[in-house]
A and B are shown apart, each in its own frame.
Chain A
Amino acid sequence: MESKLIDHLFRYHSGKMVSVLTRIFGLAHLEIIEDAVQDTFIKASISWRTKQPDNPEAWLTQAAKNRVLDIFRKLNTEKKHLPNIAYGSNAIAINELFLDTEIEDAQLRMIFTACHPKLDPRDRISFALKTVSGFSIKEISSALLTKEDSIKKRLTRARKAIQKSQLKFQIPQGELLPQRLESVMEVLYLIFNEGFHSNKEETLIRKELCGEAMRLCKILLKNKHTRTPEAYALFALMCFHSARIEAKTNAKNELLDLKNQDRSQWHFPLIKLGHTMMEKAVDTPTFSCYHYEAAIAAEHLYARRFEDTNWDKILHWYECINAIQPMPTHLLTMAVVCLQNKDAKKSKTYLDQIKPDDFAQRAYLYYGTLSDYHAATNNFHEAIKHIDNAINVVNNKFEKSYLKKKKSKLISTKN
């Protein structure tokens, strides 16, 4: 068997099988279900060593169906609550739930469950990665840069919340849907960002996170109730960012900023897909943050060289975002954009609206930008003062050495 053909087969099937089995047995039996799915993969990984099946997906589905019957027996002997399926028509009902459209439906239900407001926001991502995406605790912990123990706690807490609130395994309808969909998109956005904005170790897993977020977003786009302009915009945004992912680091896995990226490495098919998605996304009178973020990401892609970047347009999109979701980081970014655009005066108007406290541990970003502003207006004394402030409050040693380099440059320009 071509190993490429079954790329990520287990991971994707894991989410599918957990979702379908949960639909059959209910969320109360989630742990048994997860164990059962794990068993199926172990069985496959051993039995396929010497005899590889012609159709691995069908093999796994069949194995999952068999596990359903095992679980029935297990629950029966343990005298737990039996799932609400009439016995005579069991076989038919189960078979129907394994149809492709039903599998997608089950996965969508699982995504909505994982992003339920009754779950602690911090637990949602971990829980989604475990149940929908088949990540192990170890993988989640390295993907989210969190200790394995904390991930375990989060998962337990999420399961308990589900039990306690007796969550229904369903896609919300009517008035509830837009609100719940918003929380789903937020989680997908966060999963994507975890993958995109880091050059820490385990790069493979981090790219996986981006891929997972896109896969889950695609599930939203397949269902007519969740296929909204915002969801299209979110997917477009992910496409545009992903198109640049290979160019973001060099061979030594060091982060490259936009200025220094090799633009020939950008992935054209993803850019094209992003545009197609964007066309569908703009079919709405009101735009969301995702629309504007996608627009900004696209603007960067339009520029063939860094120097060609249309900063005016980017500034405009940021103003739009800040209008619907005012945040100090947006103002700071706008100040940076103005400096790129050689408009120090306008930059100052944004800087005047924010203060270092707005950024907590990331106050160095504020000081760094302030320093840039003073350097741009040839006030090197002030520029050095603020870069010193930045150096004093920064924790990350890479960023510290970056700032120190900047400082020595300032000193040499001043003299």
Chain B
Amino acid sequence: MMIFIGADYTDLGLSPEELQNRMGKWFSWNDKMEKAGILRGGNALTPAIRRVVGANRTVTDLTSAEVKEIVGGYYIVETTDFDAVQKIAEDFPDYDLGGTVEIREIMVFDR
């Protein structure tokens, strides 16, 4: 599973043209994974986050103000190992906006 953390497009003031270019990069990344037959799903997430923290169950209502903490979406891919996903993640379009990709393995339990 690749989790995308970073810039929220709403805050960046991108022009229509820039947004479209960026979208084009996402398209081609998506297509690449589909062609490789490894894509198993994914979703975009809205910037609103609600966090419940600690013994007091403090609720924090983070929105796009804390740009660094936004989880923008995720893709689930099926590959042989971590390295293969890492290679795929090199094409993530938003590094130049300060974005991060976290790769986590989904644990499969033996029956």
Q: Is the CB of B17 within 8 A of A45?
A: no
Known contacts A11-B16, A11-B17, A13-B16; A39/B26 CB under 8 A: no
6 contacts between A and B (CB under 8 A): A37-B16, A45-B20, A46-B44, A48-B27, A50-B42, A136-B13
Q: Is the CB of A134 within 8 A of B44?
A: no
A41 interfacial by beta-carbon distance below 8 Å: yes
A346 interfacial by beta-carbon distance below 8 Å: no
CA distance A208 to B15 in the complex (A): 14
A169 interfacial by beta-carbon distance below 8 Å: no
Residues of B within 8 A of A135 (CB): 15, 17
CA distance A13 to B13 in the complex (A): 17
Residues of B within 8 A of A44 (CB): 19, 23
Residues of A within 8 A of B16 (CB): 10-11, 13-14, 37-38, 41, 134, 136
Which residues of A come within 8 Å of B, CB atoms?
1, 3, 6, 8-11, 13-14, 37-39, 41-42, 44-50, 52, 134-139, 208
Contact code string B11-36 (vs A, CB < 8 Å = 1, else 0): 00111111110111011101000000
B9 interfacial by beta-carbon distance below 8 Å: yes
B58 interfacial by beta-carbon distance below 8 Å: no
Residue on B nearest A1 in the bound complex, by CB: B27
CA distance A9 to B27 in the complex (A): 15
Residues of A within 8 A of B99 (CB): none
Q: Is the CB of B15 within 8 A of A134?
A: yes
Chain B CB within 10 Å, residue with most, of A10, A44, A49, A135: A49
Residues of A within 8 A of B10 (CB): 39, 42
B43 interfacial by beta-carbon distance below 8 Å: yes
Residues of A within 8 A of B20 (CB): 6, 8-11, 41, 45
- Nearest 4 CB-CB pairings of A with B: A136-B15, A10-B16, A10-B20, A45-B23
CA distance A37 to B17 in the complex (A): 13
Known contacts A49-B27, A49-B30; A42/B17 CB under 8 A: no
The minimal Cβ–Cβ distance linking A128 to chain B, given in whole angstroms, is: 15
Residues of B within 8 A of A1 (CB): 27
Known contacts A3-B28, A39-B10, A42-B9; A48/B17 CB under 8 A: no
Give which listed residue, B17, B30, B73, contacts A10 with CB less than 8 A. Answer: B17
Known contacts A46-B9, A50-B30; A134/B17 CB under 8 A: yes
Residue on A nearest B11 in the bound complex, by CB: A42
Residue on B nearest A39 in the bound complex, by CB: B10
Residue on A nearest B46 in the bound complex, by CB: A46
| Chain B residues touching A, range | 20 to 34
CA distance A42 to B46 in the complex (A): 11
Residue on A nearest B10 in the bound complex, by CB: A42
CA distance A139 to B16 in the complex (A): 11
The minimal Cβ–Cβ distance linking B18 to chain A, given in whole angstroms, is: 7
Chain A CB within 10 Å, residue with most, of B9, B18, B23: B23
The minimal Cβ–Cβ distance linking A285 to chain B, given in whole angstroms, is: 42
CA distance A208 to B23 in the complex (A): 19
Chain B CB within 10 Å, residue with most, of A39, A136, A137: A136
Give which listed residue, B9, B27, B43, contacts A52 with CB less than 8 A. Answer: B27
The minimal Cβ–Cβ distance linking A149 to chain B, given in whole angstroms, is: 14
Residues of B within 8 A of A139 (CB): 15, 17
Residues of A within 8 A of B9 (CB): 42, 45-46
Known contacts A8-B20, A39-B10; A49/B26 CB under 8 A: yes
Known contacts A50-B43, A50-B44; A45/B27 CB under 8 A: no
Known contacts A42-B9, A47-B44; A10/B27 CB under 8 A: no
Residues of A within 8 A of B43 (CB): 50
Residues of B within 8 A of A38 (CB): 13, 16
Residues of B within 8 A of A134 (CB): 15-17
Residue on A nearest B13 in the bound complex, by CB: A136
What would 12 more interface pairs be, CB under 8 Å, given A134-B16, A135-B15, A136-B15? A3-B27, A8-B20, A11-B16, A37-B16, A39-B10, A46-B44, A48-B23, A49-B26, A52-B27, A136-B13, A138-B15, A139-B15
Residues of B within 8 A of A41 (CB): 16, 19-20
